[in-house]
Amino acid sequence: MSRSYNPPTLTVPVGPDDWTEGPPDAPVTFVEYGDFECPHCGAMEPVLKELRRLAGPGMRFVFRHFPLTSSHPFAEVAAEAAGAQGAFWPMHDALLANQDALALPDLVDRAAALGLNARQVADDLTAHVYEPNVRDDFMSGVRSSVSGTPTFFISGGRYDGDYALDSLVRAVQKAGRAAR
């Protein structure tokens, strides 16, 4: 028999290698597969910020890389390099807020502006140190049938609703009730 289409679920659970924000025991885990170069991800970021603020400790936020716009992206590895210096989220925010400046020198400047060891970030980027991390995220997304960015999973189930804040808040609340 032919199989029909089933909405996908998150096949690689959130683990210690993930970039997470919020309590590890939060009732709801919200995973974004995103691409720093994707304009939709940039446009979505203020909405997700507000969602995180409203959900408070009731939600853990996770970001995984799913670079589609460029096959050898620097922005993703720059975030990983910043993460190695304890600044993944500040770099994540800076990249999404400045999507028109993601060339190598821009990224190094950004690292310096965040007070990081910019030299180290530059070395990490040219040596491709963190590309395997980005690839792992990408492959985990492929296995969960992520097909574009941004794609969201709420408590392991893919979110197929619209991108309005209200809709996202309702979906997170529903997942929170189900977790009780």
Partner 1 sequence: MSHPNTLLPVGTPAPDFTLRTTPDQTITLSELRGQPVALIFYPADWSPVCTDELAIFSQLQPEFERMNAQVLGISVDGVWCHTAFADARGVNFPLLADFEPKGAVARAFGVYRDQEGTSARASFVIDTDGVIAWNELSPVGINPGAGGVLQALEALAGARAAEKAG
- Measured CA to CA, the distance from residue 141 to residue 147 in angstroms comes to 8
Q: How far is the CB of 3 from partner 1 (least distance, A)?
A: 6
Q: How far is the CB of 60 from partner 1 (least distance, A)?
A: 24
Query: Which lies closer to partner 1 via its Cβ, residue 2 or residue 86?
Result: 2
Q: Burial, 132: exposed, middle or buried (Cβ in 10 Å; 0-12, 13-18, 19+)?
A: exposed
Q: Which residues pair with 64 in a beta bridge?
A: 33
Query: Which lies closer to partner 1 via its Cβ, residue 140 or residue 155?
Result: 140
Q: Burial, 163: exposed, middle or buried (Cβ in 10 Å; 0-12, 13-18, 19+)?
A: middle
Q: How far is the CB of 68 from partner 1 (least distance, A)?
A: 5
Query: Which lies closer to partner 1 via its Cβ, residue 2 or residue 100?
Result: 2
Q: Residue 77's Cα: distance from chain center in Å? A: 13
Residues that bind partner 1 (CB under 8 A): 1-5, 8, 11, 67-68, 71, 138-139, 142-148
End-to-end CA distance of the chain: give it in Å, rounded.
38
Q: How far is the CB of 100 from partner 1 (least distance, A)?
A: 21
Query: Which lies closer to partner 1 via its Cβ, residue 2 or residue 162?
Result: 2
